[in-house]
Amino acid sequence: MSLYEEWSGIFNEIRSCRKCRLHESRTNPVPGEGPLTARVVVIGEAPGRKEDESGTPFVGPAGKFLNTLLESAGLKREEVFITNIVKCRPPGNRKPRRDEISQCLGYLSRQLRLLKPRVLILLGNTAAETIYGLAGVEWHGVMKDHGKVFEIKVFGVEALSIPTFHPAAALYNPRLKNIILEDFTKVVKPIIAGLEKGSSQP
């Protein structure tokens, strides 16, 4: 099987997934968006209303802010892979439950093993807690640990990871906006610039 066939196979499995209760209330699963060549992966929590309607991650208000954040770090949305810890919207945007996360993680694992990204940007506590739990990193919460860089190995992939607040948090608390922007400009941007020095694409 070619890499591309494996890649699209994962998407097709997610689109017909019924492993957990979230399939009952979803409109569309949201497998993720971005090229198989992406060296940067952005991981959020779970699709929201707009994402559930469209099947595309981060297209609602939080997604607009995410696009600004990526640009501020010298990244184009089209060159990164954007996905979530769970691929279907929890009803009423509640947090995904532990069993829903564990049923869904196999998909993220396969996506990351194929992509072999160099950088993971973790948006919010759910993404960071889940990934650092798997990687054996002590996690003190996004308030304390946002903007730090952790070298991790997760699902067999070695990458630099940067946790920050979820962009939706800035929509409720405008003071967070500059803090998230700083994490992207002061922490993510130099890492991306470093990757670019090593090769012609991030």
Binding stretches for ligand URA (CB under 6 A): 44-48, 51, 57-58, 60, 62, 84, 168
Q: What is the CB neighbour count within 10 angstroms for residue 189?
A: 15
Q: Which is nearer to ligand URA, 84 or 103 (CB)?
A: 84
In angstroms, what is the minimal distance from the CB of 93 to ligand URA? 8
Apex 151 CA angle, 118 and 190, nearest 5: 60
Q: Which is nearer to ligand URA, 177 or 195 (CB)?
A: 177
In angstroms, what is the minimal distance from the CB of 131 to ligand URA? 13
Q: Which is nearer to ligand URA, 34 or 57 (CB)?
A: 57
Q: Which residue in the shown chain puts its C-beta closest to ligand URA?
A: 44
In angstroms, what is the minimal distance from the CB of 184 to ligand URA? 16
The token pair that represents 157 in the structure block: 């992939």
In angstroms, what is the minimal distance from the CB of 7 to ligand URA? 19
Instruction: For residue 41, give every residue at least 6 positions away whose Cβ sits within 8 Å of its Cβ, in sequence order, or none.
Output: 34, 80, 81, 82, 83, 111, 112, 115, 117, 119, 120, 121, 159
In angstroms, what is the minimal distance from the CB of 84 to ligand URA? 5
Phi, psi (deg, nearest 5) at residue 60: -85, -165
Q: Which is nearer to ligand URA, 46 or 135 (CB)?
A: 46
**Residue closest to 167 by CA, chosen among 48, 13, 55:** 48
Q: Which is nearer to ligand URA, 71 or 158 (CB)?
A: 71
Going from the C-alpha of 150 to that of each of 50, 110, 135, 143, the distances in angstroms are 31, 21, 10, 16
